[in-house]
């Protein structure tokens, strides 16, 4: 912990922030601190807050600026400003959300960062110490790290169940076929939920679920050979650390049953796997709590740091008289969080110099705590997204602390509390307009993730798709919502392909493109500023599966829509590939930067990066959406987003009147005049 005192500028900033009324959110960020990079580089040697600003947001932004712009150095002068966005109190602690900006004036570019700062004041006669977690990395100072974090979870769960009513209660649904019975003093074993006893109490069974990464090493699994033995006893000495930690948590919480996929599904029974995978959303939505091993790379990574791998329940909080000094793990510090800086200082009461010094402790964090799990390894895994979205309560087991999220609060060991924005809530009372906006974000997040088993990419989205259907009363079609057809067909590849698409997936769904996806690259969600019209209509849709929908293979599929079609020659010249998305030239256009820094009217991308980009051949283009933008003195602009199609030969499936096409790309045109005139006849097309 830093011992330096803050400089006068930072001391004034801390005092100013501490005096703000809470809770408060500024409509316009309030500028309270300003320096230049060369001054901050010097002041960071003596001021802990200047050092935190330099080491966390500023140095990172400066490195990015060096890569992009010429002449940016540590010694050059670039304005830095610190603005207060909002303040909130959590008990005695005041938390401020701050915006840090680094301005590269010559290039008219600004780097923005969101950080948070906690202020813990303590008068001389104040009996309350600064937060234990800030000073020792533990909320309960006389526990092992594992015990400490389990006790935090117990407190949060007790508070949630006693004060949040039905709001956070599990959703009633289908039970998994098996649970692990974790009763203390008894052998761990698998129990079947198909028994009469379970069927009679199915709505009141309390169980927990585990969200983790299998990794390269396959964890202990149930197979047709081991199922009978595991029904008697699961060999504890073969359990990986993550499983052992999860068992300890549920025993400490008084929850008897635990669901872990590798043990509760027979892994070499394809029919059972498809059935259980189709219900997995129900399993997480119905659990009392989901335990997320957020930073574990595999099943041996564990939920807690340290060597405490006991599976015994944590019963109560030890006091200092019970401290086992023989165990160094009880007094060692928690893992240092590289995104956090903590310092304390004392200052004299300026109104009365005879008063003793008071103490102020500062916790400076370069990440919004709610964003930290998004940077964890588990958030790179495909299955984990539905587990996070559908769980009513979830604990994030991070390297340096544990976080709690229910439908009401997001809480951290560092003593921060946030209201949950309900983007994961299962309550169907939210407006359809709000619910529909969650969908693009879920798809973009999902498309970034990886899978241990590549073929799981469709199956792992089944729970999310069913969840959205329950909320919006509209069932998605392979990742496309009929009520937002134009929006959801307007996806664009936003990176390199990671492998082949889902087998049998038609070209119009993002499931056909195994790459990061952007769902709203041209800003259709900003329709409060623009006039937006959808230009395609659903005529019919059909899909046949080889087994259970979404968890078996696609057998056949068709999508018939009605819209405006036009032949256009669109291409991406080599010099355009450095832009994201690349710009496109239409018909006989050529790149001419003498006309200005952006001498093009169209941008887009082909779905397959191997597709020839600079061909002057015409393509069939289908208009999806038209946006009218009024830019004041510059007049009105038209933005038309359209699919790039390839004609397919072969027998028609439904009618000779339908033309068959395959999607191969997408583009968006911006100009004064439409390239799809209003008088073009609408046609019905068959998309493969």
Helix, strand, or coil (residue 412): strand
- What CA–CA distances, in Å, run from 199 to 89, 115, 193, 281? 46, 50, 7, 20
Per-residue pLDDT at 430: 66
Tokens at residue 264, please?
């509760």
119-140: pLDDT as tens digits: 999 877 777 789 999 999 999 9
DSSP state letter for 574: G
Burial degree of 92 (CB within 10 A; 0-12, 13-18, 19+): middle
Burial annotation 332-353 (CB, 10 A radius, 16+ → b, else e): eebeebebbbbbbbeeeeeeee
Confidence category of residue 591, pLDDT binned at 50, 70, 90? confident
Confidence category of residue 91, pLDDT binned at 50, 70, 90? confident
Give the pairing of strands 409-412 and 402-405: antiparallel
Tokens at residue 346, please?
């004392």
Instruction: State yes or no: pLDDT of 280 exceeds 70.
Output: yes
Per-residue pLDDT at 353: 52
Instruction: State yes or no: pLDDT of 409 exceeds 90.
Output: yes
CB 34 within 8 A of CB 80: yes
Q: What is the largest CA-CA distance in the chain?
A: 95
Burial degree of 569 (CB within 10 A; 0-12, 13-18, 19+): middle
- Residues 15/20/22/25 CA torsion (nearest 10 deg): -120
CB 662 within 8 A of CB 688: yes
Tokens at residue 468, please?
């959205």
- Better-predicted residue by pLDDT, 622 or 28: 622
Q: Say how far apart CA 141 and CA 91 lie, in whole Å.
A: 19
With a CB cutoff of 8 Å and minimum separation 6, the contacts of 633 are none
For residue 685, give the H/E element and its range: strand 682-687
Instruction: State yes or no: pLDDT of 200 exceeds 70.
Output: no
- Better-predicted residue by pLDDT, 212 or 432: 212
Per-residue pLDDT at 655: 46
Asked if the peptide bond before residue 307 counts as cis, ω within 30 degrees of 0, the response is: no
- Better-predicted residue by pLDDT, 283 or 201: 283
- Least confident stretch, 15-24, 28-37, 246-255: 28-37
DSSP state letter for 91: T
Per-residue pLDDT at 330: 42
Neighbours of 187 (CB within 10 A): 11
- Residues 249/250/253/256 CA torsion (nearest 10 deg): -160
Per-residue pLDDT at 511: 96
Region 399-425 average pLDDT: 86
Residue of 456, 452, 378, 450 lying closest to 217 (CA atoms)? 452
Query: How many Å is the Cα radius of gyration of the chain?
Result: 29
Q: Which residue in the block uniquely carries the two structure tokens 């560092």?
A: 414
What is the number of helices (H) and of strands (E) in the chain?
16, 27
307-358: pLDDT as tens digits: 788 899 998 766 544 444 434 444 344 567 899 999 999 876 444 455 556 8
- Better-predicted residue by pLDDT, 357 or 665: 665
Instruction: State yes or no: pLDDT of 687 exceeds 80.
Output: yes
Tokens at residue 424, please?
């994961």
Confidence category of residue 526, pLDDT binned at 50, 70, 90? low
Helix, strand, or coil (residue 310): coil
Q: Say how far apart CA 405 and CA 291 lie, in whole Å.
A: 11
- Least confident stretch, 101-105, 121-125, 300-304, 343-347: 121-125
- What CA–CA distances, in Å, run from 473 to 110, 426, 429, 458, 588? 43, 13, 12, 21, 47
Q: Which residue in the block uniquely carries the two structure tokens 């692990």?
A: 180
With a CB cutoff of 8 Å and minimum separation 6, the contacts of 655 are none
Per-residue pLDDT at 142: 85
The full length of the chain comes to 688
Per-residue pLDDT at 28: 63
- Least confident stretch, 345-349, 458-462, 545-549, 556-560: 345-349
Q: Which long-range contacts (CB under 8 A, 24 or more apart) does 63-66 make?
A: 64/111, 65/102, 65/104, 65/109, 65/111
CB 544 within 8 A of CB 667: no
367-396: pLDDT as tens digits: 899 999 999 999 999 999 999 999 999 999
Neighbours of 7 (CB within 10 A): 17
Asked if the peptide bond before residue 23 counts as cis, ω within 30 degrees of 0, the response is: yes
CB 119 within 8 A of CB 96: yes
- Better-predicted residue by pLDDT, 353 or 92: 92
In DSSP terms, which residues pair with 584 in a beta bridge?
A: 602
Per-state percent for the chain, helix, strand, coil, to nearest 5 = 30, 30, 45
Per-residue pLDDT at 429: 57
Per-residue pLDDT at 327: 44
Region 645-653 average pLDDT: 66
**Average pLDDT over the chain, rounded to an integer:** 87
Per-residue pLDDT at 29: 64
In DSSP terms, which residues pair with 564 in a beta bridge?
A: 682
Query: Across 101-105, 207-211, 532-536, which has the greatest mean pLDDT?
Result: 207-211
Asked if the peptide bond before residue 179 counts as cis, ω within 30 degrees of 0, the response is: no
Q: Say how far apart CA 292 and CA 391 lie, in whole Å.
A: 10
Per-residue pLDDT at 621: 96
- Least confident stretch, 415-419, 519-523, 654-658: 654-658
Per-residue pLDDT at 322: 46
Per-residue pLDDT at 354: 52
């Amino acid at each position: 912990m830093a011992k330096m005192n803050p400089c006068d500028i930072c001391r004034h900033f801390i005092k100013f922030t501490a005096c703000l009324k809470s809770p408060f959110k500024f409509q316009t960020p309030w500028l309270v601190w300003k320096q230049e990079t060369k001054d901050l580089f010097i002041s960071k040697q003596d001021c802990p807050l200047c050092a935190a600003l330099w080491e966390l947001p500023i140095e990172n932004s400066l490195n990015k600026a060096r890569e992009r712009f010429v002449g940016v150095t540590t010694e050059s002068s670039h304005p830095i400003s610190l603005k207060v966005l909002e303040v909130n109190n959590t008990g005695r602690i005041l938390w401020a959300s701050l915006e840090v900006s680094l301005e590269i004036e010559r290039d008219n570019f600004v780097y923005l960062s969101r950080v948070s700062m906690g202020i813990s004041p303590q008068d001389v006669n104040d009996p309350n110490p600064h937060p234990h977690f800030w000073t020792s990395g533990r909320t309960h100072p006389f526990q092992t790290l594992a015990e400490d974090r389990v006790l935090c979870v117990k407190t949060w769960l007790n508070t949630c169940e006693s004060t949040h009513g039905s709001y956070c209660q599990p959703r009633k649904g289908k039970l998994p076929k098996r649970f692990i019975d974790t009763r203390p003093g008894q052998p761990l074993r698998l129990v079947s939920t198909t028994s009469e006893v379970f069927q009679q109490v199915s709505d009141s069974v309390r169980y927990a679920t585990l969200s983790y990464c299998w990794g390269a090493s396959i964890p202990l699994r149930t197979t047709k050979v081991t199922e009978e033995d595991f029904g008697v006893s699961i060999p504890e000495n073969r359990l990986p650390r993550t499983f052992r930690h999860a068992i300890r948590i549920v025993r400490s919480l008084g929850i008897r049953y635990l669901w872990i996929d590798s043990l509760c599904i027979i892994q070499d029974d394809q029919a059972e796997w498809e059935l259980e995978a189709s219900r997995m959303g129900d399993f997480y939505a119905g659990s009392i709590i989901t335990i997320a091993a957020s930073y574990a790379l595999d099943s041996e990574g564990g939920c807690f740091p340290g060597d405490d791998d006991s599976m015994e329940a944590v019963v109560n909080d030890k006091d200092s008289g019970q401290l086992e000094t023989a165990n160094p793990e009880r007094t060692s510090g928690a893992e240092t969080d590289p995104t956090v800086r903590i310092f304390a200082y004392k200052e004299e009461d300026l109104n009365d110099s005879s008063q003793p010094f008071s103490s102020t402790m500062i916790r400076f964090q370069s990440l919004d705590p709610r964003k930290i799990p998004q940077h964890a390894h588990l958030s790179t895994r495909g299955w984990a997204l539905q587990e996070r979205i559908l769980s009513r309560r979830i604990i994030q087991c991070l390297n340096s602390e544990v976080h709690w999220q229910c439908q009401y609060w997001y809480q951290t060991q560092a003593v921060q509390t946030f209201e949950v924005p309900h983007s994961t809530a299962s309550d169907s009372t939210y407006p359809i307009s709000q619910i529909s906006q969650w969908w693009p974000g879920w798809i973009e997040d999902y498309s970034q993730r990886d899978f241990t088993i590549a073929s799981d990419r469709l199956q792992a989205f089944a729970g999310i798709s069913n969840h959205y259907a329950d909320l919006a009363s509209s069932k998605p079609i392979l990742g496309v919502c009929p009520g937002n057809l134009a929006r959801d067909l307007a996806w664009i590849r936003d990176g390199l392909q990671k492998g082949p698409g889902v087998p049998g997936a038609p070209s119009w769904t993002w499931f056909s493109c195994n790459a990061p996806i952007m769902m709203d690259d041209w800003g259709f969600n900003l329709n409060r500023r623009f006039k937006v019209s959808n230009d395609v209509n659903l005529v019919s849709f059909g899909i046949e599966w080889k087994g259970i929908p979404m968890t078996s293979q696609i057998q056949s599929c068709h999508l018939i829509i009605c819209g405006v079609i036009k032949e256009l020659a669109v291409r991406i010249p080599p010099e355009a590939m450095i832009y994201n998305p690349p710009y496109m030239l239409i018909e006989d256009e050529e790149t001419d930067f003498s006309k200005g820094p952006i001498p093009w009217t169209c941008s887009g991308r082909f779905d397959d990066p191997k597709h020839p980009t600079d061909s002057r051949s015409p393509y069939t283009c289908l208009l999806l959406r038209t946006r009218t933008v009024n830019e004041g003195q510059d007049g009105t602009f038209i933005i038309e987003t359209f699919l790039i199609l390839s004609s397919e030969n072969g027998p028609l499936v439904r009618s000779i009147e339908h033309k068959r096409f395959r999607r191969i790309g997408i583009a968006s045109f911006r100009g004064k005049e439409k390239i799809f005139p209003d008088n073009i006849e609408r046609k019905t097309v068959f998309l493969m």
